[in-house]
Structure 1
Amino acid sequence: MKHRLSPAVLAEFLGTAMLLCAVIGSGIMAERLSGGNVAIALLANTLVTMFALYVLIETLGPVSGAHFNPLVTLVLAARGSFAPADRKLAVAAFIGAQLLGAVAGAWLAHLMFELPLLQWSSKLRAGPGQWLAEAVATAGLVLVILRAPAGKGAALVACYIGAAYWFTASTSFANPAAVLGRMMSDSFAGIAPASAIGFVAAQAAGAVVGVLAAAGLQPSNP
């Protein structure tokens, strides 16, 4: 699908900002209200993320495709989602908007909860299990996006991410922009800067696996 660039870039900025605001803000609220029960806090964080994803994809999908994720943008660009004449510019603009949106979303959450605007997470998330979890989460996300029937992408993506919050050891970031935003929030949903590179590398590997899996499911030509 081809999109007019300026509204689409704005949609990617707003969508990523609101997604990160929802993830981080709900994490802060859940941690404050859960009385130290991490399972309840994670459940609340999961449900809010699912609802926000569904609403944002349904609302902004007609404008930009609702990527909100640099890896999704790269995958869809490789599959012809942008006009060849402006593909490089569009991809760069989308990814730039997503990264800026992630930072803006983190800051907005901090302002609403009267926390310091500028901060870095101290929550370490590292190790082979965490990296494998991010690869699995991202592979599944890409597979769902590429295989979702028309009109059902929003629900399927939201449900998949909600499930992956619980069946992956990393709670399913599956998004380099989310890593950036959450890296800049020392809260329930945060990730320490030292852990960010490993997560992003695992996500990139997972995206490749997701593309290959989707290709393998395509029917063979007679």
Structure 2
Amino acid sequence: MAAETKHKAATPDTTTAKQDFDLQESMHKAEDFYYKNKNVINIAIVAVIVIVGGFFAYNRFIKAPNEKKAQEMVFHAQQYFAADSFKLALNGDGNNYGYLQVIDKYGGTKVGNLAKYSAGVCYVRLGEFQKGIDLLQSFSANDKLVQAYAYGLTGDAYMELNKTEDGIDYYKKAGHYSDNELTAPLYLFRAGLALQKAGKTQDAIAIYKEIKEKYPQTNEGREMDKYLAKLGEVKE
């Protein structure tokens, strides 16, 4: 019995040996693959390093300085905008830049993007509605409230151009983009009025009911029974 035990203890573990063999074989295969393809692999690694490094370098040495330059450049345009001097805000005064110059030079920056919105407002206020539309449509904001205003102002500009359907689309877009009691009922109400103008009474009624249901405490919400009554809807 002891001899049998001794014999068993001396017997090699074939499973472990097989695993070690497979591991070594895999390692050799990996090394073979690397040496056969090392040029491609090394190029790929270098490319990743260059891309990542380039991204951080761009942010640090190009993007950040450009943002600062754009902020300095837009300063006087903002002052003219606040004073309702829209032509000067757009074009500058000969000594200081306007929004259009900021957009042209630094349109890809955050400041340049906001300049598109402000310039769009300027054009609409000056009665150059299509130019205002073009700039407002090129603007995009992370802030939902600002973006809603941009959509709503675009709707106003389309209405001024007698493009009622486009105006309705943008009013609805503005009204539904941000669920708040400031912009949503305001632009939904304008959508309802535009729908009435277009002869789409049932669509206008649906919008007015939506305002009444969702925003009853707003100025627009409190007025909805009056508008619904004018359209033949029975007051609840």
Above 0.5 in TM-score?
Answer: no
Higher helix share: 2
Instruction: Sort the TM-score into its range (normalised by shorter chain).
Output: under 0.3
TM-score by length of 1: 0.25
Q: Which has the higher contact order (CA 8 A, sep 6+)?
A: 1
